[in-house]
Chains A and B, each alone.
Chain A
């Protein structure tokens, strides 16, 4: 760029001659120069803007083009970093505490038809009926020749059936792959496992969803692909579950009961080793729930009904021990305190009587439990008072639904009196007027067994369990265990003795309530809540029989001591060795005669 001088000498001299102001020339030149500079800088910035715009255009075109290809092209799995092992699409397995399979998946096929592609619908229908006798020929022909374009024929078929359908050679019959839930052990632990069915169904896949039990409770966990197929491990033990179910079934038949339930619980962790409810069902082929059509039948008659968790009944005298413990905790009594149970007792106009109107006279607290005296516990309850009683039972978890992790536990809310007055307090002290499930009772007895810490029942295998809050003093729990042991050695549960296992427990016999109020005379719920061995309990066993009657004697017997107790004893005898518990040496062996030397020095 040529630089023009601001004051060119020639023009200045010329201007001076003409008498003009030479500054005007300078100003003019300065203006010219500024104009030039401005034009230049504008050009440069316009260029920069252009380049920038170019960049932006490129960027947007790239992004746009990528979006267009992504939306227009077929989706593809990333091939370079396939991490197939960590993502599992199948529903997770359910295992028992030893890792044995309780529920797994199997690939099968579903059969569907596209009638408009069919060559010979009538022949196809004939052949299908030959393979699947439960199908109706008329119905199939109607579907195949009608206007329908698509219909499911069978949701699950075996490989043999698939081959047979394939051999029909009908192009309108097609198969879709299906994951099927399989419970290889059949009826075992049916109430805990629940069952599964199909959710949304497509031709190429179908959702498997849990419908009950842990399958429903942990549905999200079981379906979550991020778990990488990690199985759900339950606290149940397959061997023990099977043994208990078998013994319980035998006991139920022998005692002519219409239903039975048993719970075996680890007293320190709250893990449920086995929970059985009879009658049961096959989760592979879950029966439908009772509906209005099944007139005259109660839901509790359905095999789907889980007595161990949903069976909320008055559990009778098994509650007496709680009253005794609380009275001891509060320092009102000790095991040897004598209470007069002979005096007649009348609360708010209701007479509190003993079983078969017996009269035990003046007996100690320990004997009140052993002999199962209603008036004795009633007197203790009056001393304790309704409020403190409520608080104590709440601490044991007897006033809330059980936290056991199956869906049916929502139906376990205890029935408690609306107004917890003096009368309620007395009846509840011996287990009437409050209804609980056996699972509640198991957790409460576990607290006695482990020395006074509250226990949360769980169906999952736990590595570490935090100790629950203390609900009773260790001394009262120990005294209660001694009483429970005495109930077996010299009280109502004498059939419960299993040599070497120091069984302790409390019987409970409660009349069944009629649906319209009042109680049946000849229908009872018998419960035996036990723990073993009583000097250092490891397990709590609850056995409940629904409407049992023992008919070996001249008169039918309906007390728990004759029905539930022998069944529980058989279970303990059968199961304790399986749990790895060695029987105690109850006989004292004589010392050998050698080896004793007298020395004197």
Chain B
């Protein structure tokens, strides 16, 4: 009886040791992964900052004004003027026609009690 107890406890110790060993490796692996992710986040934040700076630079008022002037023939963009405000009743309603039925599907069903 006692020897059985010894054998069982020895096996338990070996099992636990193996578990602790593998947990340790898993922890190390996750730490490495999290570190890699952190550095990737850092890099991406840096990239994001560059992209934001570039966005701001490309949208600077000087450039937009030049672009508006260059494309005046196509877009006719002018500065906003007080006369451009309108009232709601100046907005035309959409036409009152029933839109054409396209791609109709048959639906057959039963209404329950």
A interface residues (Cβ-Cβ under 8 A, vs B): 79-80, 82, 84-85, 90, 100-101, 104-107, 182, 184-186, 188, 238-239, 242-243, 498-501, 573-574, 576-578, 582-583
Distance (Å) between the CB of A241 and the closest chain B CB?
Answer: 9
Query: Provided the pairs A186-B62, A188-B61, A577-B85 are in contact, do residues A106 and B53 lie with their beta carbons within 8 angstroms?
Result: yes
**When chains A and B are docked, how far (Å) is the Cα of A100 from the Cα of B59?**
10
CB-based nearest A residue for B41: A84
- Choice from A188, A577, A578 contacting B60 with Cβ under 8 Å: A188
Cβ-based interface call for B52 (8 A): yes
Tell me if B15 is interfacial: C-beta within 8 Å of chain A: no
Q: Are A105 and B35 in contact (CB under 8 A)?
A: no
Q: CB distance B52 to A104 under 8 Å?
A: yes
List, in ascending order, chain B residues with CB within 8 A of A82's CB. 34-35, 38
Give the distance to chain A from B91, nearest Cβ to Cβ, in Å.
Answer: 15
**Do A576 and B82 touch across chains, with their CB atoms under 8 A apart?**
yes
- List the one stretch of B3-11, B42-50, B100-108 in contact with chain A: B42-50
Beta-carbon contact of A499 and B53 below 8 Å: no
Return the 3 tightest CB-CB contacts between A and B, nearest first: A184-B56, A101-B56, A242-B61
CB pair B82 A577 closer than 8 Å: yes
Inter-chain contact B79/A574, CB cutoff 8 Å: yes
Give every chain B residue within 8 A of A499 (Cβ-Cβ): 82
Given contacts A182-B53, A574-B79, contact A84 B61 (CB under 8 A): no
Chain B, residues 39-82, CB within 8 Å of chain A (1/0): the string is 00110001001101101110111100000000000000001111
Chain B residues within CB distance 8 Å of chain A? 31, 34-35, 38, 41-42, 46, 49-50, 52-53, 55-57, 59-62, 79-85
Rounded to whole angstroms, the CA-CA distance of A432 and B76 in the bound complex is: 49
Given contacts A84-B41, A188-B60, A501-B82, A79 and B35 within 8 Å (CB-CB): yes
Residue of B nearest to A229 (CB): B45
- Give the dominant DSSP class at B's interface: helix
Q: Hey, which chain B residues are within 8 Å of A80, CB to CB?
A: 31
Residues of the A chain whose Cβ atoms lie less than 8 Å from the Cβ of B80 = 574, 577-578
| Candidates B38, B49, B59, B83; contact of A104 at CB < 8 Å | B49
Chain A contact residues, majority secondary structure: loop
Taken together as a complex, chains A and B put the C-alpha atoms of A100 and B64 apart, in Å, by 15
Which A residues are in CB contact (< 8 Å) with B35?
A: 79, 82
B42's partner among A84, A101, A186, A498 (CB-CB below 8 A) is A84
Question: What is the CB-to-nearest-CB distance from A395 to chain B, in angstroms, rounded to a whole number?
Answer: 36
- For residue B28, which residue of chain A has the nearest CB? A79
- Pick from B46, B50, B56: contact of A185, CB under 8 Å: B56
Q: Which residues of A contact B31 (CB under 8 A)?
A: 79-80
B85 touches A90 (CB 8 A): no
| A-side contacts of B79, CB under 8 Å | 243, 574
Known: A100-B59, A101-B55, A105-B53. 15 other contacts (CB 8 A): A80-B31, A101-B53, A104-B52, A106-B53, A107-B50, A184-B53, A184-B56, A185-B61, A186-B60, A186-B62, A239-B61, A573-B82, A574-B80, A576-B82, A577-B82
User: Within 8 Å CB of A578, what residues of B?
Assistant: 80
Chain A residues within 8 Å of B50, by CB: 106-107
Known contacts A82-B38, A105-B49, A184-B53; is-contact A577 B61 (Cβ 8 Å): no
Asked whether, in the complex, the Cβ of B85 is within 8 Å of the Cβ of A185, the reply is no
B24 to chain A, nearest CB (A): 13
Kindly report which residue of chain A lies nearest to residue B80, judged by CB atoms: A577
B residues less than 8 Å from A574 (CB atoms): 79-80
Q: Are B85 and A583 in contact (CB under 8 A)?
A: yes
Name B38's contact: one of A84, A105, A188, A583 (CB within 8 Å).
Answer: A84
Asked if A104 and B82 sit within 8 Å, CB to CB, the answer is no
State in angstroms the CA–CA spacing of A578 and B85 once bound together.
11
Most chain A beta-carbon neighbours within 10 Å: one of B34, B56, B80: B56
Closest Cβ of chain B: how far from A231's Cβ, in Å?
A: 11
Interchain nearest-CB distance for A572 vs B (Å): 9
B35 to chain A, nearest CB (A): 6
